Amino acid sequence: MILSMTGYGAGIASSDSFRVTAELKSLNSKYMEVTLKLPKVYLKYEHEIRSMLGKRLGRGKVVALLNIEVLTDKVQRININRSLAKSYLKELNSIKDELNLAGDIDLSFLVNMPEVIPTDIGEENEEEWNLIRQAIELACEKLISSRKVEGEALNKDLTFHVDSIGSSLEKVVALAPKRIERVRERVEKSLDDIRDKVEVDPNRFEQELIFYLEKLDINEEIVRLGQHLKYFKEIQEAPKSNGKKLQFLSQEMGREINTIGSKANDAEIQRLVVNMKNDLEKIKEQVLNIV
Report pLDDT for 195.
62
**Separation of alpha carbons 55 and 205, rounded Å:** 65
**Separation of alpha carbons 163 and 143, rounded Å:** 30
CA 61 to chain centre: 9
Report pLDDT for 217.
82
**Separation of alpha carbons 68 and 66, rounded Å:** 7
Report pLDDT for 208.
59
Report pLDDT for 226.
97
**Separation of alpha carbons 81 and 115, rounded Å:** 7
Report pLDDT for 76.
57
* Cβ atoms 28, 289 nearer than 8 A: yes
Pairing between strand 32-37 and 7-14? unpaired
Q: Reduce the DSSP state of residue 17 to 3 states and report it.
A: coil
The size of the chain, in residues, is 291
Could you tell me the strand order of the sheet in which 7-14 lies?
A: 7-14, 18-27, 60-70, 32-37
Tens digit of each residue's pLDDT, the chain (291 residues): 899 999 999 999 999 888 999 999 999 998 999 999 987 778 888 999 999 999 999 999 999 999 988 887 665 556 778 888 899 889 988 998 888 888 888 888 887 888 787 655 455 678 888 999 999 999 999 999 999 999 999 999 999 999 999 999 999 999 988 776 776 666 666 666 656 666 666 666 566 556 565 667 888 999 999 999 999 999 999 999 999 999 999 999 999 999 999 888 788 999 999 999 999 999 999 999 999
Of 141, 187, 108, 110, the C-alpha closest to 22 is: 141
DSSP state of 239: S
Report pLDDT for 96.
86
**Separation of alpha carbons 55 and 73, rounded Å:** 35
Report pLDDT for 147.
97
Pairing between strand 32-37 and 18-27? unpaired
**Separation of alpha carbons 173 and 177, rounded Å:** 8
Q: Reduce the DSSP state of residue 25 to 3 states and report it.
A: strand
Report pLDDT for 69.
86
